[in-house]
């Protein structure tokens, strides 16, 4: 005797299955964090990054993790066609000036691409590179004529943390300072780094 299936039961099972699949896809889409990706210049030598920087300072983070939407397109022809994007902005007190038109004691703003919490920049997310309140940083900065905040030359080389004992720390293997310094012939302390940088400032 051939077993008969009730069409209503089959339809009900199909609907439940479809709903489950939709819910699983929705859960997975929520669990994937959105990130921003960008291309940055890479500097192979201390001389290169020193020449490229508009300013090089040692600064203390006095305010951090403020997110602002900015349109950084400077081309008047296309500026209005480009949407604003999120940046995480921190304030620094300049402690020591190595290069540039900044004075000791000045308060400057430095922007980092992405909303650190909701839509971070991929590299900064990977190395936990967003600035934190109270940190001391050696910064290689680019400046802008349009009044927008400074930015580091790139996420992996443009900022190096200065620890309490004045040694340098970076979580990126691309950093020219502070990454596994004992295994490499690179400056290990802030004084060493400034001495090296100063050789290339004219």
- When pLDDT is averaged across residues 36-41 and rounded to a whole number, the result is 89
Instruction: Decide if pLDDT at 70 tops 90.
Output: no
Q: Which of 136, 172, 181 is closest to 154 using CA atoms?
A: 172
pLDDT digits (tens, 9 = 90+) for 47-69: 999 999 999 999 999 999 999 99
Separation of first and last alpha carbons in the chain: 97
Instruction: Decide if pLDDT at 24 tops 80.
Output: no
Dihedral of alpha carbons 45, 50, 51, 54, sign: positive
With a pLDDT cut of 90, the percent of the chain lying above it is: 66
With a pLDDT cut of 70, the percent of the chain lying above it is: 75
pLDDT digits (tens, 9 = 90+) for 118-175: 999 999 999 999 999 999 999 999 999 888 999 999 999 999 999 999 999 999 999 9
Residue owning tokens 């929705």: 26
Confidence (pTM)? 0.78
Q: Which of 140, 136, 46 is closest to 98 using CA atoms?
A: 140
Report the C-alpha gap between 87 and 10 in whole angstroms. Answer: 52
Q: Which residues contact 79 (CB under 8 A, 6 or more apart)?
A: 71, 73
3-state SS, the chain, equals CCCCCCHHHHHHHHHHHHHHHHHHHHHHHHHCCCCECCCCCCCCCHHHHHHHCCEEEEEEEEEEEEEEEECCCCCCCCHHHCCCEEEEEEEEEEEEEEECCCCCCCEEEEEEEEECCCEEEHHHHHHCCCCCCCCEEEEEEECCCCCCCEEECCCCCCEEEECCCCEEECCCCCCCCCCCHHHCCCCCEHHHHHHHHHCCCC
pLDDT value of residue 178: 86
Instruction: Decide if pLDDT at 92 tops 90.
Output: yes
pLDDT value of residue 201: 95
């Amino acid at each position: 005797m051939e077993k008969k299936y009730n069409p209503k039961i089959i339809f009900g099972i199909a609907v439940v299955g479809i709903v489950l699949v939709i819910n699983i896809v929705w859960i997975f889409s929520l669990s994937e964090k959105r990130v921003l990706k960008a291309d940055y210049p890479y500097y192979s030598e201390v001389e290169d990054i020193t020449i490229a920087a508009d300013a090089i300072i040692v600064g203390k983070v006095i305010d951090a993790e403020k997110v602002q939407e900015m349109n950084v397109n400077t081309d008047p022809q296309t500026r209005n066609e480009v949407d604003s994007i999120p940046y995480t902005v921190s304030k620094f007190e300049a402690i020591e000036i190595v290069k540039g038109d900044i004075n000791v004691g000045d308060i400057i703003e430095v922007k980092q691409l992405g909303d650190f919490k909701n839509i971070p920049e991929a590299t900064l997310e990977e190395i936990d590179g967003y600035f934190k309140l109270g940190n001391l940083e050696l910064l290689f900065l680019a400046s802008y004529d349009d009044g927008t905040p400074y930015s580091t030359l790139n996420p992996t080389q443009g900022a190096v943390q200065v620890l309490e004992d004045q040694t340098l720390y970076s979580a990126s293997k691309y950093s020219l300072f502070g990454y596994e310094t004992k295994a490499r012939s690179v400056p290990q302390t802030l004084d060493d780094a400034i001495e090296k940088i100063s050789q290339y400032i004219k």
